[in-house]
């Protein structure tokens, strides 16, 4: 399996991080699965597994605690750009995140960052609309008991 270049682009804070060093578990036209360690050392998280749904616009991460125990699901809403010639993905964080705890409670995070990014001209109206539409889809899945997607539980 050929390993692509994967970049994580963020607006707040503004940064682009190469996460190509994460372990590639599987790859298809629809899904990339990776195993990772935190970019910055954390006492509460040892790493996790991420499922990037390339055509759906979100990345679901299973966060693991210091002993490898399941802590929570974290869903980043993203825009995916792929350069086939370079085999390079740019995953742009659309700021809003959803955290789902083991008890099923749902937290929507960083909505205020969308407003801030719009005010500062960091994101386009289209990106904000994409984030909100994807947020609605993820919340519907969570509230209907369909989150995470079944592939994340295999």
Could you tell me the CATH number of the domain that includes residue 55?
A: 2.40.380.10
> Would you say 10 and 37 are in contact if contact means Cβ atoms under 8 Å apart?
no
Determine the structural domain holding residue 87 and report its residue range: 5-148
Number of domains in the chain: 1
Residues in the chain: 154
Domain annotation covers residue 153? no
Domain annotation covers residue 154? no
pLDDT for 1 beyond 80 = no
Tell me the per-residue pLDDT of 62-88, one tens digit each, with 9 for 90 and over. Answer: 999 999 999 999 999 999 999 999 999
Between CA 23 and CA 11 the distance in angstroms is 25
DSSP 46: -
DSSP 44: S
Whether the predicted model's global pTM rises above the 0.75 cut: yes
């Amino acid at each position: 399996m050929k390993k692509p270049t994967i970049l994580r682009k963020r607006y707040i804070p503004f940064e682009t991080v190469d996460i190509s060093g994460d372990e590639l578990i599987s790859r298809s036209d629809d899904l990339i699965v990776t195993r990772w360690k935190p970019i910055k050392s954390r006492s509460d998280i040892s790493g996790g597994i991420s499922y990037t749904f390339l055509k759906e616009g979100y990345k679901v991460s299973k966060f693991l605690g210091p002993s490898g125990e399941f802590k929570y699901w974290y869903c980043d809403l993203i825009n995916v750009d792929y350069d086939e010639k370079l085999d390079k993905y740019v995953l742009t964080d659309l700021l809003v995140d959803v955290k789902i705890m083991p008890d099923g409670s749902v937290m929507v995070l960083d909505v205020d960052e969308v407003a801030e990014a719009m005010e500062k001209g960091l994101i386009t109206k289209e990106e904000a609309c994409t984030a909100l539409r994807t947020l609605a889809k993820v919340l519907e899945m969570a509230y209907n008991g369909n989150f995470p997607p079944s592939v994340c539980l295999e």
